[in-house]
Amino acid sequence: MAGRRTDTRERIQQVALELFAERGYDKTSLQEVAERLQITRPALYYHFRTKEEILTGVIERLVESIEELVAWGRQQPATTEARLEILRRISGLLSDQWRPLFRFAQVNQGALEHHPKGERLRGCVISLVSLLCVPGESAEKQFESRLAVLAVILGNLPLLFGSESDPETDLNEVALRVATKLVTGEQPDE
């Protein structure tokens, strides 16, 4: 039974994030979340009493996931192959598990800015962006390392680039290729 409750909670969080991204956090009600899920408000309240509880749960899962990846990444050798694997893992998580919250964050920055877990999330993202940096490398190399992670993140934020620009182009793949060039030192294609 616990598995079913967890699945329901995750589905509620997923649908709520979709609505928050579409309509905005402040303009979305729990009633709208319940309607989209085709459940009653009391059924929703059984799992979450407020929108903030929904958002807190999502942020906690994201923070734990980022912390786990950062801890794993810090255990890897400072080789080019290990750094590329870190980028692939970030890209995979962004195109799957992390995508809804990053889309939400792009549209609802104010809700995260004032959220009690917002500071911890910001710290995790800073750790993530700095994950490829190697102590002792030049400032330029460290900057390129940060840009590589940011390129992967930006490739998963369609509102910045517009998904309608070229429906055949997978921005995530493009971003990963650009990030790879930054890490390997290859010159961009002319």
Average pLDDT of the chain, as a whole number:
86
* Dist. CA 168–CA 48, nearest whole Å: 39
pTM of the predicted model as reported, rounded to 2 decimal places: 0.80
Token pair in block for residue 97: 């598990």
Q: Tell me, what's the pLDDT at 165?
A: 54
Domains of the chain: 55-184 (1.10.357)
pLDDT (tens digit per residue) in 23-45:
889 999 999 999 999 999 999 99
Question: How far from chain centre, in Å, is Cα 73?
Answer: 17
Q: Bigger pLDDT: 78 or 161?
A: 78
Higher pLDDT, 38 or 160: 38
Using the predicted structure, report yes or no on whether residue 98 has a pLDDT greater than 90.
Answer: no
- Kindly state the tokens that stand for 57: 């749960």
Average of per-residue pLDDT across 43-55: 93
More confident residue, 30 or 107: 30
Angle at 118 (CA atoms; ends 162, 51), nearest 5 degrees? 80
| Residues 129-152: tens digit of each pLDDT | 999 999 999 999 999 999 999 999
